[in-house]
Amino acid sequence: MTAAPDRSADRAARGPGLPPGPRLGLLGTGPLLERPGQLQVELRRRYGEAVTLRTFEGTLVLVLTPEGARQILTADPDGYDVIMRRAFTGIVGTGSLWVMAGEQHRQERQVVAPPFHAQRVRGWGRTIEQLAGEHTDRWQSGQTLHAYEAMLDISRDLVLRVVLGVDRGDRLREGRRVLKLLLETTSRWTALVWFVQRWWFPPWRRYVRARAAFTRFVYRELAERRARRSESDDVLGLMLAARRADGSAIPEAMIRDELITILLAGHETTATALAWAIYELGRHPAILARLRDELDALGPDPEPDLIARQPYLSAVCNETLRLHTILTEVGRVPREPRELLGYTIPAGVPMSVGIAAIHRDPEIYPEPDRFRPERFLDRTYSPFEFLPFGGGDRRCLGAALSDYEMRITLATVVSAWDLESIAEDRDVRHNIGSGPEHGVPIRVLRRRWEMQAMPVPEHEVSAQSGAEPYPRGRGGE
């Protein structure tokens, strides 16, 4: 690989001030809200390491290289405030880690983090495997569906089971309904633009109603738990049992806010990553064959932890997260003036890391637009070159669960079914994260042990199932 050029002399000559950049205004901010990954790549090509974006909401400095990411993410967290606090507070509430900073963030993260430690996450391997199998066993040969919607169904049930402890009956059906509604009413506008979070904006009113339904559902679960006075090892049970340094419990409102955060940060993002992995494997049969050879070599019914440790499976998942970056940026707001890549950033001017631009940098990833999992076998990338879950003290709390779920679910799907991608798709922003514009249309060809069976005609499958052959995607809000 060609070494990255040394830009230190250029930085030393820059002096104070902000990096160059365009004035976007209201109309020009559209690409930032709709296709941030593509915009970041173009900005790096035009402006280099860093760019200043002047939007209708104010000025933002965006760094587009690993060195810029390192300087932001390794600095003293006490020197930073929360980026986009007003918009995020409107979505998740004041009790979410997303809107906390400094000592409050550190203390609350220590209280909330234990359920997401890697050792505990590995204990859910069979549950993930079972849920993936239950959902995909309903597929039929010849059926056309959207991978995004199918993976959302699996991920939603996993959230209900391992986070809320809900797995059957009316509670499960209600949980599916309220989680689905909460996600569908969270758009890129309501999540990121604070001044439309008002009664006069219909999408915001729909979100408020969905959040109220979710709140009622959570509070009923909390009341039942306290009435039973029994301990549970799901995330909700562990949060109820957790205690702060002063011995106090986590308030109910904060538990609600953290659960909304978990849903928005982990539920859709994992499903999106799985949908993109299926999309790429359906387009690259040689890669799919190599992955299956690795999984088949494990024998019948291997332990989930053994599956998750397979190197090529890991490479496929990582390459998916690189090429289809879901969390396209993370940011901080400096409390005091900060030196960044040779520039002086004033206090209060948000600084953001363009993760998508770093993931598409040809100096780090040759042929960046090509899906090539082998690159993750050839070398190890630094946490500032590959950062799908963000970085620093605010790295995604559920990263271990998301990564583990992706590996086990993907292995379950590709071991059981032959699939093909049947249409082009592209990344667009859904809400805080990005995802497929058209939902990743795929065709289920056959079960792997039915290689001689002829695919069922698509119109027959639709008639049998009573469902539309193309469930709606998320892209066209």
- The domain ranges of the chain are 8-465
Instruction: Read off the pTM.
Output: 0.89
pLDDT band at 141 (very low <50, low <70, confident <90, very high): very high
Q: Is the pLDDT score of 130 beyond 60?
A: yes
Q: What average pLDDT does the segment 17-41 reach?
A: 81
454: region left, alpha or beta (phi > 0 left; psi from -120 to 50 alpha): beta
Are 315 and 338 in contact by the 8 Å Cβ rule? The answer is: no
Residue 201 has pLDDT above 80, yes or no: yes
Q: Which two tokens stand for residue 252?
A: 């109910």
pLDDT band at 307 (very low <50, low <70, confident <90, very high): very high
Integer Cα distance of 37 and 41 in angstroms: 7
Q: Is the pLDDT of residue 303 over 70?
A: yes
pLDDT tens-digit series, residues 389-443: 999 999 988 899 999 999 999 999 999 999 999 999 999 999 999 999 999 999 9
Give the ranges where 245-347 is alpha helix by DSSP (H): 252-262, 268-283, 285-296, 304-308, 311-323
Q: Which residues contact 470 (CB under 8 A, 6 or more apart)?
A: 144, 145, 146, 441
The chain-wide mean pLDDT, for the chain, equals: 88
* Contact yes or no for 367/373 (Cβ under 8 A): no
Q: Identify the residue with better confidence: 447 or 357.
A: 357
Query: What is the fold, at CATH topology level, of the domain defined by 8-465?
Result: Cytochrome p450 (1.10.630)
Per-residue pLDDT reduced to its tens digit, 442-464: 999 988 876 544 454 554 444 33
pLDDT score recorded for residue 243: 86
pLDDT digits (tens, 9 = 90+) for 34-85: 899 999 999 999 999 999 998 877 899 999 999 999 999 999 999 999 999 9
Distance, CA of 342 to CA of 440 (rounded, Å)? 42
pLDDT reported for residue 360: 97
Distances (CA, A) of 474 to 269, 436, 471: 13, 7, 10
Of residues 354, 285, 281, 369, the one with CA closest to residue 324: 369
